[in-house]
A = this chain, B = another copy of it.
């Protein structure tokens, strides 16, 4: 066996091959294939036929260099395995679909160094824009974003100082709002369960907001529990058991995401704990998964799809506002009380 897979000794095709095959200049072929400029119908047909017959695939590298235009949009996100970013990506793809722009994804695993190198790599392809999760970046990354000379949209979060545009929700406010709802429902001994990731700034801000909301009611967290990797659902069970063993009189558990919340909910139901009477539960994100659980977990929708849609609109320049650059779009998550918070 030999590579290339097909025994094709010819070098790869260029415009010249199509131009020779169809008897017109390279320029005309280029015009036909890009649908640009006036070309007569007969010529167009001739060219298209030749291109198809040869199996010509244009070389975007050469095209991009010549035209100084690249139809790529860099999208930099921390993770793909939880349910949040796939949905953001969906919003982005849908919106970009009819613009000729194409998303290219990079994953950082919540690692700032990795974010820096992914960003560097992306910028070296000179994309038309960059969508990047979060407002916190290394100084070098921020410098790159600032001097890239292309539209930048920081997504998910708006509690901070954007480089250019930003689309997201206030996680601090979301945390506060959840705290207020919980307190209003009469819960007093409240525990928090979350991830150990110091680089998940949005989870951090939610917790800060949550603490703030409790403080306003003269409360503070009664206990906390954190986890590292592993199956989130399983971790949710384990952590719930651990925190309740340690602090049995807790009457509410606030989880930093829905997956561990769902695990906690399943564990409580297994144990026959009265939810939400004896113990209330809430998560964050509004993942679709919750619809299939025996009881619906209280949560807040993070507006993931809309965030993707708006970010892509900004890059594609199709914001209704007509504003160019420096836009700040705040979305407002809705609290879904589900079946795991007592109704007051």
Contacts and interface: CB of A to CB of B under 8 A. Distances in A.
A12 B60 CA distance: 20
A2 B236 CA distance: 47
A231 B89 contact: no
A125 B61 contact: yes
Q: Chain A interface: which size bin?
A: 35 or more
Interface in A1-33: 1-6, 8, 12
Nearest to A6: B146
A104 interface: yes
Specify how many copies of this chain sit in the oligomer: 2
A125 to B, nearest CB: 5
A163 interface: yes
Given A64-B61, A149-B12, A292 B232 contact: yes
A98 interface: no
A38 interface: no
Contacts of A89: 80
Most buried by B among A6, A87, A163: A6
A242 interface: no
Interface in A31-74: 55, 57-62, 64-65, 70
Contacts of A293: 233, 266
A86 interface: yes
Interface in A227-249: 231-237
B233 A5 contact: no
B231 A288 contact: yes
Contacts of A93: 107
Given A4-B149, A124-B60, A294 B323 contact: no
Given A5-B149, A104-B105, 10 more contacts: A3-B325, A4-B149, A5-B151, A5-B164, A55-B143, A58-B124, A59-B126, A81-B90, A102-B121, A234-B291
The 3 closest A-B pairs by CB, nearest first: A233-B292, A1-B326, A4-B149
29 contacts: A1-B323, A4-B150, A4-B151, A5-B149, A5-B152, A5-B325, A8-B147, A57-B120, A57-B124, A58-B124, A61-B64, A61-B70, A61-B125, A65-B65, A80-B86, A81-B83, A81-B90, A86-B86, A102-B121, A104-B105, A231-B291, A231-B292, A233-B291, A233-B292, A233-B293, A235-B292, A236-B292, A237-B292, A262-B292
